[in-house]
Amino acid sequence: MNSLFRKQLSKTDVEKRLAIPTSSLQAFNLNGACSVGFEAEDMLSGRIWQFHCTTRTKGFYSKPVISKGWVQFVKFKQLRVGDRVAFYKLNQHEHEAQLVPYKIEVERKIELLGKLVWAKV
């Protein structure tokens, strides 16, 4: 499994859409399109989520975001600013054994026995 990106959530990420690094765009197989739907499995619950990866149609920078389905995911998981999200893509061999090629993982910083740790949520 390959890590596509990991980021700490901003206010915009939580309220509207998830901005993603341009460097991870190739993993979403846009093939010249400005939007593509994909499924990602929540690594904690196993639930499958429907998302869209979208880029700008004009301008020099593509500014990729995960839009459709993202706000519903945020609400369901009760995500907040400062939480971390990570997306992964299965390699070819792993994908043959599973139906969903993408995985999503969310972490929140909590205090445990007097220490701050990242817990999966």
CATH of the domain at 88: 2.40.330.10
Q: Report in angstroms the alpha-carbon separations of 15 from 9, 11, 18, 41, 96.
A: 10, 6, 9, 21, 35
Q: What does the pLDDT look like over 50-75, one tens digit per residue?
A: 999 998 777 667 789 999 999 999 99
CA distance 37 to 30: 9
Burial of 102 (0-12, 13-18, 19+ CB in 10 A): buried
CB 19 within 8 A of CB 11: no
> How many residues in total does the chain contain?
121
pLDDT at residue number 30:
73
pLDDT at residue number 57:
73
Number of domains the chain contains: 1
Q: What does the pLDDT look like over 33-42, one tens digit per residue?
A: 678 899 999 9
Domain containing residue 33: 2-120
pLDDT at residue number 36:
86
106 vs 29, residue with greater confidence: 106
pTM: 0.87
